[in-house]
Amino acid sequence: MKHHYFSFVICTWAIVVLLASCSSNKVWEQPDVLYSNSSLTVNGVERQADRTVLHLSIEGRPGNNFRIQSTTYLAGDNGKEYALKGSEGLTLDQWTPFSKDVKSFDLYFEPVKGSEQALDLIEPQGWMIYGIHDADKPLRIRPAKEDGAIKDENVFFKKGTGTLSGRFEGSSHPEVIQFFGNNAFQEDNLQACKIAPDGSFSLEIPLEYPILSYLWSDDSSRPLYFFLTPDGETTIQIDSAGLVHFPADSRCGKLASWLSNAAPSFNSPQDSTILLLADYVGERQGFSNEETHLLKQNIRIIAAARELLSVSETDPSLYISMAKLDPEDWTAFSISNEISSLSNYYQFLGPMRGISNDTRKMMAVDSAVFKKPGPSIFLQAAIMNGRGLSQEVKANKQLLEMYKAKGIDPSQQFSYKKVWDERLSALSSPYLKARYQTAIDELLKESDDCYDLPTGEATDIFRRMVDPFRGKWVYVDFWDIGCAPCKQGIESSVALRKKIAGMDNLELVFITGDRSTPPQVYKEYVAKYMAEETSYLIPEAESILLRQLFNFNAIPHNELVDPDGRIVRGKNLPRLGSPDFLDQLELAK
């Protein structure tokens, strides 16, 4: 009897301790967070048996609104997701006005496992709070291994065509999907295709090395990330909620999924918390070492690019984020969208300001930034700037024509050939040397001044807008309302446009897409500044197809159509607003 009583006491005591332990783990009265991309504040977490409650508040001005989407979820260890079930203090998916400076509300989720030590609040491409945890129990984040660097160019570079196929699930889907084509060489490699009625699509993308990049659709406001290698195949699925999924064995599929569905925008990449977040997410999502390395490369390159934009002095010691990049790790090239900007900024801004035509000075500055003999892969990417080289070749041809017309010996005048030779000698990579020489040779080749557009839907769209003016030269201006140089050119060219309106042989045509220039905004702007012009507002899907047809991302972009409907090739077209616009246009004809 005594034995049974003793066992009863022990069991009762154990249950009490267990309940007390569970109870203490159910409430985080003053939670801490690792990272937040918003003004949302977590005031408390209740982990109840049938649900998990987050007590939240948000700051805002009276008269403004905010919204929480029903697709929001909590994420735990190993990426386990807990769905949002309800709310109190607001209505999900609807705009909630601020009546005071702070709005408090609760969100109810599925019950969270008792073993979860931290939670992430994720609204895909919206509100994100990472590492919500009990303030009395600090997070333990292990630094991830980064052994994904590649310093052998023979391993990294390989030409081939990668195949990217996918499908949008659900009853509705976008019309067009596109790959922007940015790369380390500053050359546009745009790819776009119509999406089939069943939601499927396929892109064939010429590559020279593996890329971590993204797709964009005509009705989306967020990127859809993917990883693709030359001669490789990647399959992407977008479910009815808009979330991206990859097969379990996809190389870097976990990283691409997280970047598409749950990554913050890295607004302050200089903040060390962002790199800590990469370690935290990598461990919870089960990233490979390669994935963690690529994520950190992405963060570091964004930080370096923003640094180059913000620091205007030429002192190499000021470029701290830049100096943290490994000057020999070719995988920086894989971050295709960011390296494209970085290499351009590195050549023309910051420490290289004003010396882009002096290769020896650029080499010296590059060595001072990285404290290593150069050239770094970043300087080599800057030298490989295809857009800049193309403009230089065009300018060089025009200079030679001018010297010839004036009877001046070209050898006694400035020529870009000497600059190109110096850059070629500076390149340490055999692959890039060969590529740079080939690019120069191709650009210097004589070609027909005009060409015919290929048959296809994009050409049909373009012809619909310019064919009414057959027999005239047609200057086409691609613009949008968010482009300051576009608007500056339009608004400063009133007198010029009036003069052109009286000419029999020249027509101006303006084209913009309805996503970048919303219909009502377009209507008001055209009425104010372009009432007498030939102007088209076209669906975004058509705008994407035209950008692929003429292979451009940046605007303003211009094309010149001759009286027979052919496209003028390889000329420097003047921008609207240029003081000598008509003279420059005559040279381009």
In the block, residue with structure tokens 């408090």: 104
pLDDT digit string, tens, across residues 196-242: 999 999 999 999 999 999 999 888 778 999 999 999 999 999 998 88
What is the helix (H) or strand (E) element at residue 538, kind and residue range? strand 534-538
Residue 208's region, left for phi above 0, alpha for psi from -120 to 50, else beta, is alpha
Total-model pTM: 0.83
Residue 476 to residues 88, 187, 499, Cα–Cα distance (Å): 53, 22, 17
| Confidence at 15, pLDDT banded by 50, 70, 90 | very low
What is the rounded distance in angstroms from the CA atom of residue 64 to the CA atom of residue 62? Answer: 6
For residue 583, give both structure tokens.
């003279």
Residue 362: alpha-carbon gap to chain centroid: 27
Q: What is the pLDDT of residue 14?
A: 47
CATH class of 450-588: alpha beta
pLDDT digit string, tens, across residues 490-523: 999 999 999 998 899 999 999 999 988 999 999 9
- 548 touches 191 (CB < 8 A): yes
Q: What is the pLDDT of residue 219?
A: 81
pLDDT digit string, tens, across residues 142-190: 888 778 899 999 999 999 999 999 999 988 899 999 998 889 987 878 8
CATH 2.30.40 given to domain 26-134? no
Q: What is the pLDDT of residue 164?
A: 97
Residue 368 to residues 351, 356, 361, 364, 543, Cα–Cα distance (Å): 10, 16, 11, 6, 44
Domains of the chain, by residue range, sit at 26-134, 141-384, 388-444, 450-588
